[in-house]
Structure 1
Amino acid sequence: MSVYRDFVRDFPERCLKLLQRSERNFDLEVTQLLLVASSGFVIPRERLKDRNNTLEPDYRPKYRKGGELVANHPDVAEFLELAGTVHQELKRPVKESSFWPLIRSSAQYQERWRPSGVELVAVGEVPDAMTVEQLFDILRNGLAHGNVFVKGDRRREIAALTFGQSTIRDSDEYKFVTFSVRDFRSLLRGWFALLLDETLISGVQPTLQEPAA
């Protein structure tokens, strides 16, 4: 396998190819979907995250308690336009974003105690005020920290995936989002399309702030 050119476009493109293969491998479809999401969603997002407000119109750098400047990953500067596009889309309400048409048929939200076992489905509407960033935070936490659950149908086939994030640090009270397997795959494909094409249905135009020298 050739060396990755980068983890923002080249790596997600390879993840997308695996995702397309999983659609033809029905016995392990969901397992491969979760494997692809755990890397193809988490890694590019962490590298493009604006930790220092660089992409905000009123740029105000963040500093740690000791006075040290909070630094972005170098990929933010390397892929500045793409980082700006992603940043703007993450700030949008989920229901006004390009991702909503991909998940609205099955997306559910609920706050409750984290259960034991592997099966769980959230029951409730996605809040109107929830942003894409808040939704993605739940997905990222679920994938990175093992807060993933499934729901089987009558034939014991996996029909839905649920991801959770604690409402308070070290608490057993969680917020959960649930998607059908089909919609979660569509969401992941939409994420890869954003990274690879830099275009969205919503036509978001990035607001860019060049990093301070």
Structure 2
Amino acid sequence: MTAYADFTNDFPRRCLEVLDAVSSGAAANGREITLLFMSSSARFLVPFERLKSDTSNSEHPFGDNKRYGTAAARSKDMLRKKFVGSVLCPSNSHSWHCAKKVASVECGLDSWLPNTDLKAFSKDRQVASILTLFRNALAHGNIYTVDDPIRELAFVKEVTSKQANMTCKRVGFEVIRVSHEDFLRFIRAWLGFWQDPAECAGSQP
């Protein structure tokens, strides 16, 4: 078992290799969605967290966004792009939908998902907002599957508002609903993005 060269490029590459190696076995046993959830957190979160820009309130302790400046710049550029039309969602024909004002997600999926005002992703929505929602949903276990057999996945992010006393109050939830095929394509594109610098170019400003 060779050591990682780094966790911003080498780790995503190995994740993609593992996904390719075991996908057929998982599908043969009806466990492809389980594999997708099991591996999504690590393969998505590691490069996202380690390369994002520092803020006045937060910075990653490892300093990879400084050590790997080129990769960090590519990541920052990608976050500014529009999600629909980017390498992460290249087609205008897709299953990505979002509801921004969901009052409650209690009592199981069937009790609230049918009543959410899900709308197709706006063409103006940036990659950063989508990845941040995924980051929160995966980190907190806010994930669901839709239908049996599974057709779609749902990701939930808590929305809070800062109060006068500097505490945060929950004001609702934001939900993304997407077919598992489109989410797998997104994950593969995300991993592939780190392998080819040309992927960061593209036609968008």
* Deviation, structure 1 residue 199: 2.4
Q: Which moved more, 1:163-172 or 1:88-97?
A: 163-172
Aligned pair 1:95/2:98, yes or no?
no
TM-score scaled to structure 1, two decimals? Answer: 0.78
Aligned pair 1:30/2:70, yes or no?
no
Aligned pair 1:144/2:130, yes or no?
no
The 4+ residue runs of structure 1 with deviation greater than 3 A are: 70-73, 118-122
CA contact (8 A) 2:81 2:204 kept: no
* Match of residue 55 from structure 1: none
Aligned pair 1:41/2:44, yes or no?
yes
Amino acid at match of 2:6: D
* Match of residue 57 from structure 1: none
1:189, 1:93 → 2: CA distance?
A: 18
CA contact (8 A) 1:162 1:178 kept: yes
1:47-196 mapped onto 2 (5 Å cutoff): 47-52=50-55, 62=56, 71=59, 73-101=62-90, 104-111=93-100, 112=102, 113-117=104-108, 120=113, 123-152=118-147, 156-168=148-160, 169=168, 171=170, 173-196=172-195
* Deviation, structure 1 residue 82: 1.5
CA contact (8 A) 2:13 2:192 kept: no
Q: Report percent identity of matched pairs.
A: 26
Structure 1 residues 103 and 191, CA, compared in 2 at 3 Å: closer, same or farther? farther
Count of residues in Structure 1 that have an aligned counterpart in Structure 2: 188
CA contact (8 A) 1:103 1:184 kept: no
Partner-residue secondary structure (3-state), 1:37: helix
Query: For each residue in 1:172-195, what CA deviation from the matched residue of structure 2 results, as whole angstroms up to 9, or x when unmatched?
Result: 611111111111011001111111
* Match of residue 15 from structure 1: 15
* Deviation, structure 1 residue 201: 7.0
Amino acid at match of 2:12: P
Structure 1 residues 79 and 160, CA, compared in 2 at 3 Å: closer, same or farther? same
2:32, 2:19 → 1: CA distance?
A: 9
* Deviation, structure 1 residue 2: 2.6
TM-score scaled to structure 2, two decimals? Answer: 0.80
Query: For each residue in 1:73-119, what CA deviation from the matched residue of structure 2 results, as whole angstroms up to 9, or x when unmatched?
Result: 42112221111111111012223422222685110101312233356
* Deviation, structure 1 residue 3: 2.4
CA contact (8 A) 1:193 1:199 kept: no
2:22, 2:171 → 1: CA distance?
A: 33
Structure 1 residues 103 and 43, CA, compared in 2 at 3 Å: closer, same or farther? farther
Superposition CA RMSD, Å = 2.6
* Deviation, structure 1 residue 204: 6.8
* Deviation, structure 1 residue 159: 1.1
